[in-house]
Structure 1
Amino acid sequence: MTLITSPSNPRISKLQTLHTARGRKKSGSFLLEGPHLLETLLNAQLWPQEVYYQPALLQRTLEGAALLERLLHAPSSQLIEVSERVIEALGDAQTSQGVVSVLPLDALDPATIQRRRRPSARPCLLILDDIADPGNMGTILRTALAANVERVLLTPHCVDCYSPKVVRSAAGAHVLLPVEINLSWEAIANRVSEHCGRHPRVLLAEAGCDQQYYMQDLVQPFALIVGNEAHGPGQQAHALSTLSISIPLANEVESLNVAMATGIILYEAVRQQAIQSGSSQ
């Protein structure tokens, strides 16, 4: 079993490039930090390319100790023990949880993830237009998974959804939620047609418009577009949309955080589906 004690080790230096979009693109891999993300991978029957771990740090928590026991039965060529200095150099979080995994980007092919999902009614197709903040992106992906959306489509100018901050905020959503990145608006329009059928409904979240989100039918297939934190949805988003919807705001509040607004709308869809499901039983 390999042991690395120096952060200047060439292998570690190469991995540190995965903290940048350029490094991830060049290597075709990204990093997942912490026991929870590795557990999510293993439970989805995805074994990482490599796992770098620090036993003493892992053993500080029950989750970490159980994971360590599981790791010790893994193929030794993929398991690399490192010192505390090395694991801290590899990670992005302020306090390391003792494990960093490396996964090929193509392991998260959206079609493959979709095939692994249980059959379910998923009326919402979520489109993110130029979301810039990594924390917002990760929170939206996590919420989209929890709200059981069909899939998430990202326009080309969105923040890199495989950056360490996005991956950490998403808390495992990358492994279980189909996400398509860098899509042109033409490709997005095709996905909307496939999802919605002949008469697509594309709802555009936009502060200040007259149509309230809870007045819409969110049980039948629809697409929801949410836009950039600073300037909102772009021109092409407006062109594709069939209706703008808003969340009522009191006390002269101009807008909500984009991740919070997305969650409010998605969970109205969950509420409506639950009501329909209850009334049909």
Structure 2
Amino acid sequence: MTLITSPANPRISKLQTLHTARGRKKNGLFLLEGPHLLETLLNASLWPHEVYYQPELLGRTAEGAALLDRLLHIPALKEAQLIEVSERVIEALGETQTSQGVVSVLPLDALNVELLQQRRKPGVRPCLLILDDLADPGNMGTILRTALAADVERILLTPHCVDYYSPKVVRSAAGAHISLLVETNVDWEPIAERITSHCGDTPRVLLAEAGSTQMYYEQDLTLPFALIIGNEAHGPSAEAHALATMPISIPLANAVESLNAAMATGIILYETVRQNAVQASTKKQSH
């Protein structure tokens, strides 16, 4: 078993470049920090390129100790892919203040849409979610996690969105990367094509925008639709406005101007969940 004790080790120096978009693109790899993300990977039978672990830190909890034992006995992972490191090294690899003892490395192409589509259960998914130049990694990660929970069809990210593979996004998404269908760097022309493919001949493109007189809960969210969430500071782009068929709003009291992008997305997505649950229940009762 390989053991690395110095943060200056060339392998560690290379991995530290994965904290930048340039480093991730150059090496075709990204980092997943913590036992939860590793366990999610293993449960999905997605084998990491490498795993760097510190046994004492990982073994501080019963769950961590069980994960370490599981990790060391997976036939698909060769010994050279499992690298034991010192506390100094695991802290140098991670971004959290207190390391949980494990950092996984995954190829960027391991999460391609075609592969994830094959593993996905069939289902009715009315919402195609479009994030328009979203800038904050915490918002992005929270939206990804919420979108997975609400079972959206997929997410399209415009080219100026925050990097989907940023460690802060990956950490905030809490495993959503491993199951959610996401297309990155999608220009508006192919976005329009995806919308037509999803919605049919009469696209419904709802644009979340404070101040609209059309409330989100007044829309029929059981039929296929696209939802656009704009940039936190500047709002929806001109291209988003051009594509939208209806602006929708969330009622706000006490002179509050707008909600956080992730919060607003969650409210609208869960109205979709509610309406579809009511429809399914009504159909069941009628039979």
| TM-based fold match above 0.5 | yes
For 1:163, the equivalent position in structure 2 comes to 166
Tell which deviates more after alignment, 62-71 or 178-187: 62-71
What is the CA–CA distance in structure 2 between the aligned matches of 1:114 and 1:273, rounded to whole Å? 22
For 1:64, the equivalent position in structure 2 comes to 64
The Cα offsets for residues 174-201 of structure 1, whole Å up to 9 and x where unpaired, read as: 0100110000000111111111111110
For 1:17, the equivalent position in structure 2 comes to 17
What is the CA–CA distance in structure 2 between the aligned matches of 1:111 and 1:244, rounded to whole Å? 32
**Are 2:196 and 1:193 equivalent residues in the alignment?**
yes
Moved over 3 A (4+): none
Per-residue deviation at 1:103?
0.3
Name the amino acid aligned to 1:208.
G
What is the CA–CA distance in structure 2 between the aligned matches of 1:193 and 1:49, rounded to whole Å? 37
SS in structure 2 at match of 1:73: coil
SS in structure 2 at match of 1:6: coil
For 1:30, the equivalent position in structure 2 comes to 30
**Are 2:221 and 1:218 equivalent residues in the alignment?**
yes
Where does 1:25-104 land on structure 2 (aligned, <5 Å)? Answer: 25-74=25-74, 75-104=78-107
Matching residue within 160, 163, 175 for 1:172: 175
Name the amino acid aligned to 2:153.
E
What is the CA–CA distance in structure 2 between the aligned matches of 1:195 and 1:61, rounded to whole Å? 45
The Cα offsets for residues 206-265 of structure 1, whole Å up to 9 and x where unpaired, read as: 000100000000001100000000011000001111100000000000000000000000
Name the amino acid aligned to 1:42.
L
The unaligned stretches of length 5 or more in structure 2 are: none
Per-residue deviation at 1:111?
1.7
What is the CA–CA distance in structure 1 between the aligned matches of 2:130 and 2:238, rounded to whole Å? 14
What is the CA–CA distance in structure 1 between the aligned matches of 2:157 and 2:275, rounded to whole Å? 26
For 2:275, the equivalent position in structure 1 comes to 272
Per-residue deviation at 1:77?
1.4
What is the CA–CA distance in structure 1 between the aligned matches of 2:117 and 2:193, rounded to whole Å? 18
The Cα offsets for residues 5-37 of structure 1, whole Å up to 9 and x where unpaired, read as: 000000000000000000001001100000110
SS in structure 2 at match of 1:280: helix
SS in structure 2 at match of 1:41: helix
For 2:253, the equivalent position in structure 1 comes to 250
Please give the TM-score of this superposition, normalised by the length of structure 1. Answer: 0.99
For 2:156, the equivalent position in structure 1 comes to 153
What is the CA–CA distance in structure 2 between the aligned matches of 1:52 and 1:219, rounded to whole Å? 45
What is the CA–CA distance in structure 1 between the aligned matches of 2:86 and 2:96, rounded to whole Å? 16
What is the CA–CA distance in structure 2 between the aligned matches of 1:115 and 1:204, rounded to whole Å? 30
What is the CA–CA distance in structure 1 between the aligned matches of 2:63 and 2:277, rounded to whole Å? 33
What is the CA–CA distance in structure 1 between the aligned matches of 2:139 and 2:117, rounded to whole Å? 23
What is the CA–CA distance in structure 1 between the aligned matches of 2:101 and 2:180, rounded to whole Å? 25
Per-residue deviation at 1:62?
2.1
What is the CA–CA distance in structure 1 between the aligned matches of 2:118 and 2:180, rounded to whole Å? 11
For 1:231, the equivalent position in structure 2 comes to 234
What is the CA–CA distance in structure 2 between the aligned matches of 1:181 and 1:175, rounded to whole Å? 15
What is the CA–CA distance in structure 1 between the aligned matches of 2:194 and 2:149, rounded to whole Å? 21
SS in structure 1 at match of 2:106: strand
SS in structure 1 at match of 2:278: helix
Name the amino acid aligned to 1:70.
R
What is the CA–CA distance in structure 2 between the aligned matches of 1:194 and 1:111, rounded to whole Å? 16
